[in-house]
Amino acid sequence: MTPSSTTGREATRSSGEELILTAQGVRRSFGGLTAVDVDEFTVRKGTITALIGPNGAGKSTFFNVLTGFDRADAGTWTLDGRDVTGLPAYRLARQGMVRTFQLTRSLADLTLVENVLLAAPGQRGEGMGGALFGRRSWRRQERSNTERARELLARFGLDRMAEQPAGVLSGGQRKLLEMARALMCEPRLLLLDEPMAGVNPRLVETLLEHVRQVRAEGTTILFVEHDMDVVVDISDDVVCMAFGTVLATGTPAEVMRDPEVIDAYLGSDEADDETARLARRGHQA
Amino acid sequence: MDLIAVLADAVRAAVGPQAAVFALAAVGLNLQFGYAGLMNFGQAGFMLVGGYGMAVSVTRFGAPLWLGVLVGLLMGFVLALLLGAPTLRLRGDYLAIATIAAAEILRLLFRAEAAAPLTYGVFGVQQFAADFYAANPFGAGDYGIGRFALSGGQLWVALVGWLLVAAAVGLTALLVRSPWGRVLRAVRNDEEVVRALGKNTYLYKLQALVLGGAMAAAAGMVLALASQAITPDTYASDLSFYAFAVLLLGGLGRVLGPVVGAIIFWLLLAASDSLLRQAITGGVISDEVLSTSDVGPIRLALVGIALILFMYFRAGGLLSRRAPTPTAKATVKAEAE
C-alpha cells in the first residue's frame, strides 16, 4: 500500500460517489442468535470491495440475504438505485447481481461450454414454447452465444476442455469455470463468495488477476473473504464484519490498522473470550 | 421344452400394449426424474386419474371418447399442479412423499364405497372402450407370422400406444435438446446454481412435472383401453415402481431409454413366465418346489435381479453414456496442464 494510491482512492471517494449497492438495517436471526445486524452497507460502483471478518462473523449469511438465497427479518437494499429488497435470487441475477458459491458448484454432467451457455441472459429457447416453436430463432441466438461462451472459456484457459463434462475439472479449474459462467450473465455487480478458498496458491494470483480484469471492464465486484492478506492487494474498499455487525469500513490500510478489527481477528483466532468481549464493547461504545 | 413358444410369448409382450403403456409412463418419468431430477413416486396416481378421467366421462356423463381423453389429460395436468405447486419450492424429498402418498390416497378413494356413485368402487367399470374398438382398422383376426401373432384388437391398442410413445419421445427429444432442456439438466445437477444464474427453477420443475404427469395420464388411458376395463387396484403403487424399473433398465436421462427399458422389462417378464410355466408343467421343476401359481412373483424377482445386475455392471441403464473412466480423466487433466 503506497500512500499515493490511498490518496488517489480518497479522491475518487470524495468526487462523485455512485453506489451500486446499498443496504440499510438488514437483520437476520436464527432463533435467539442474531447472525446479521448491519445498519449500513454500501458498495461503490466500479470498485473491488471486500467483505472480511473472522469465521462466524455473519458474512456469508449477509451475502445470502442480499442475493436472495436467504430471507431477511428486516432491512432494505437497493441495486443501482432500485429497491430490490427480498427479490428472489433469479430475479436479482436478471437485474445484474450475480453470485458464485463458496464451495464451488459446477454442473458436472454438463460440458464446460454448456455450463457457460446456460448463463446467457434472454435466451429465446429457454421457455417451453420458444424451445418448441421458435427453433430457428433460438438456434441463431445459440450460435452467437456459443461463440461468446468459447471466448470466455478461452479467457480463463479452459477452451481446450470445452466439450468435456465439467465433472472432470480440478477444484481450481472449477473456480475459473464458475467465474466464466457468472460473467456470461453480464453482471453489473459480481458477488464472489470466498473465491480463493481451497485454491492452490499458484492459482490464487491467476484468480486475482481475473478479478482485476473484470473490474477494468466496468463490473463492480464484492467478495467475501476471511483471509485478510488476500484482500490487501486487490481491494479498493474493505468492510469488516464481526458478530453480525459492521466493525469498520474504509481502505484496506485503514481497516487493517483498526484496533477493533485486529481484536476481532485475534479474538476469534485464539478463541480468546476476553478479547472478543472487549471488541464487542469497543464497537458498542 | 418349446423355446419357440417362449420366444413368441416374450416378443408378443415386448411389442404389445402393456409394453407401450410402461414405455409411455416411463417417458414421462424420464422427463421428471431423468432430466429434472424430480422424485415422482406416484406415476400410478397420474395413470389412475388419466384412466378414470376417460372412463368416467364416457360412462357416467355420456361424453364421447375424445372428450374423455381430454378430461383424462386435464386431470393429469391438475394433479401435477396440485402436487408440484406446494412441494417444488421445498427440498426434493417432499415431492417424493407427496406423490407416493397421493397415488395411494387416490387409489383408496376411488375404490371407496362412498365414491362408488362416481367411480364404480372396487370392481370398476367396463364398456367405455366401444368407440375405440369400433375404430379398429384391423378387424378381429390374428396378425403376425406363425406364433408371433397379436389379435386385431391388441394390435390396434398396441399401435395407438406406440404412436403415443413415439409422440412423447419426439417431444422429449425436441425439448431436452433445446436451451429449455439445458436448464432442466442443470437443475438436476444443482438447482441453486441455476437460480443464481437468473433462471426461475421452480417454473421449470413444475413444467417437467406437469408434462410427465400428462404422459402418465395418457399411459393410464391406454392401459384401461387395452384391458377394456378399469379398476382402482390396477393402479397400485407397484406400477410407479415398474416405471422406475423400466427407466433404470433403459437408461436415465436418455431419450430412448424408456422405450428400450420397457421392451427389456417385458421380454424378461414374459420369457421367464413362459419358461417357468413350461418347466413346471413339463416336470423339469417338480411342483413340490414350485407351482404355477408361484410363477407370477418369481418372474418379478427375476426382473429385480436383472435390475441389480444392471446397477452393478451398467449403472446408467442399457443406453448409458460411458462414464469417464479414471484414465480418461487423467488425460483430460494432463491436457489441461
In a domain, A176, yes or no: no
- In a shared domain, residues A148 and A198: no
Statement: residue A210 has pLDDT above 80: yes
Q: What is the per-residue pLDDT across A180-204, written as a single tens digit (0 to 9) for each?
A: 999 999 999 999 998 887 788 888 8
Domains identified in chain A, total number = 2
Q: State how far the Cα of B210 lies from the Cα of B76, in Å rounded to an integer.
A: 7
- The CA distance from A121 to the nearest CA of chain B, in Å, is 8
Q: Which of B178, B200, B335 sits opposite A160 (nearest CB)?
A: B335
Note whether B175 contacts A132, CB cutoff 8 Å. Answer: yes
Cα angle for residues B320, B323, B328 (degrees, 5° grid): 145
Q: What is the per-residue pLDDT across A221-232, written as a single tens digit (0 to 9) for each?
A: 999 987 777 788
Q: What is the pLDDT of residue A10?
A: 43
Query: What are the start-end ranges of the H helices in chain A?
Result: 3-14, 59-66, 89-94, 112-118, 128-133, 135-155, 171-184, 201-216, 228-234, 252-257, 259-269, 273-284
- The CA distance from B65 to the nearest CA of chain A, in Å, is 28
What CATH number corresponds to the domain at position A251?
Answer: 3.40.50.300
Q: Find chain B residues with C-beta within 8 A of A185's C-beta.
A: 197-198
In a domain, A173, yes or no: no
Interface test with B, best of A111, A153, A159, A168 (most B CBs within 10 A): A168
- In a shared domain, residues A199 and A279: yes
What b/e string do you get for B23-39 counting C-beta neighbours within 10 Å, with b at 16 or more? Answer: bbbbbbbbbbbbbbbbb
Confidence band for B326, pLDDT divided at 50, 70 and 90: very low
pLDDT, mean of residues B94-118: 94
Q: Find chain A residues with C-beta within 8 A of B180's C-beta.
A: 125-128, 130-131
Note whether A160 contacts B336, CB cutoff 8 Å. Answer: yes
For residues A116 and A152, is the Cβ–Cβ distance under 8 A?
yes
Closest chain A CA to residue B176: A131
Q: What is the per-residue pLDDT across A55-102, written as a single tens digit (0 to 9) for each?
A: 888 898 999 999 999 999 999 999 999 999 999 999 999 999 999 988
Cα angle for residues B108, B160, B44 (degrees, 5° grid): 20
Confidence band for B311, pLDDT divided at 50, 70 and 90: confident
- In a shared domain, residues A114 and A16: no
- Domains in chain B with CATH codes: 3-320 (1.10.3470)
Q: Which residue has the cell 437483520?
A: A27
Closest chain A CA to residue B171: A132
Statement: residue A217 has pLDDT above 80: yes
Confidence band for B93, pLDDT divided at 50, 70 and 90: confident
- In a shared domain, residues A156 and A59: no
ipTM of the complex: 0.84
| Residue A146 domain boundaries | 110-168
Note whether A127 contacts B182, CB cutoff 8 Å. Answer: no
Interface list for chain B against chain A, based on CB atoms closer than 8 Å: 171, 174-175, 178-183, 185-186, 188-190, 192-201, 207, 324, 328-329, 332-333, 335-336
Statement: residue B323 has pLDDT above 60: no
Could you tell me whether strands B229-230 and B125-126 are parallel, antiparallel, or unpaired per DSSP bridges? antiparallel
Q: Find chain A residues with C-beta within 8 A of B328's C-beta.
A: 168
Q: What is the per-residue pLDDT across B171-208, written as a single tens digit (0 to 9) for each?
A: 999 999 999 999 999 999 999 999 999 999 999 999 99
- In a shared domain, residues A79 and A150: no
- In a shared domain, residues A275 and A192: yes
Statement: residue A52 has pLDDT above 50: yes
Q: Find chain A residues with C-beta within 8 A of B336's C-beta.
A: 158, 160-161, 169-170, 173
- The CA distance from A256 to the nearest CA of chain B, in Å, is 32
